[in-house]
Amino acid sequence: MIYAGIDAGSRTIKVVFVNGKDLSVMAGGIADQGLKQASLASKLFDRVLKKAGINRRRVRRIVATGWGRDAVNFADTTITEITCQACGVHHASADAKTVIDIGGQDSKIIRLDSGGKVRDFVMSDRCAAGTGRFLEVLASRLEVQLDDLGKLAGLATKPSAISSMCVVFAETEIIGLLASGEKPENIAAGVQSSVSARIVAMAGRNIAKPIVFTGGVALVPGMAKALESALGHPVQVARHAQLTGALGAAILSSR
């Protein structure tokens, strides 16, 4: 049997299929989110099935998670993203104690017990501060692609101080820095440092190791290094950083 997980996030939809025998990943895919969530999720689901050569009748159960999980009307049930992230990370990294998940519109810090269960968690508010959207907007203002932000930051001699975490105010702050002659690479490094500082503030003083970094922002070059510097601890980027929520949902659908 095959089990499926769908993570309907704020910016993207993710699908993962696992083999019921050993819970190994058989296939996965990502698509942009939009207004017609159910339709987009269904199309991605079918597209990944077709590409992997999986017969739809072999899929025994589907669990949906994420911000838009209730819109995925063909799922058998829904489970919160906190639980699914914890499960997905524990499956791939059994010794993980802290999960830092930075997605398109929110950030989460999840603390796990020795069995991979959620001990507690903290989640950012609905403001896009310190999220993927925050980085996208500021990268655009610096006239670089998001994937190139880390490379640019790596050239910095002294990270700029970005005091505001509001997207609108931070963008205005960057405009002012550029006008004053500040180097784009210093601003880029400052942006990454400000995101990391927000995570440190959310985490508090005690953060258990090992630390696993998930979400789309985990794939932005330089962000893991910036987090390591701010936290003072090593940070491991999850193997399937954007798919851990969907992976956890797929694993939970087998239980």
The pLDDT assigned to 5 comes to 98
What sign does the dihedral 193-151-32-111 (CA atoms) show?
negative
The pLDDT assigned to 129 comes to 60
The pLDDT assigned to 35 comes to 85
Every domain range in the chain assigned CATH 3.30.420.40: 1-93+242-255, 95-237
> Does domain 1-93+242-255 match CATH 3.30.420.40?
yes
Q: Radius of gyration of the chain from Cα atoms?
A: 19
What is the topology classification, in CATH, of domain 95-237? Nucleotidyltransferase; domain 5 (3.30.420)
Alpha-carbon span 162 to 160, nearest angstrom: 6
The pLDDT assigned to 122 comes to 92
- Give the containing element (helix H, strand E) for 189: helix 184-203
The pLDDT assigned to 47 comes to 98
Per-residue tens of pLDDT for the chain, all 255 residues: 999 999 999 889 999 999 999 999 999 999 999 889 899 999 999 999 999 999 999 999 999 999 999 999 999 999 999 999 999 999 999 999 999 999 887 889 999 999 999 999 998 865 556 677 888 888 888 999 988 998 999 999 999 988 876 777 888 898 999 999 999 999 999 989 988 988 888 888 779 999 999 999 999 888 999 999 999 999 999 999 999 999 999 999 999
Alpha-carbon span 153 to 98, nearest angstrom: 26
**How far, in Å, are 94, 97, 111, 216 from residue 120 at the CA level?**
17, 11, 5, 22
pTM for the model:
0.91
The pLDDT assigned to 131 comes to 76
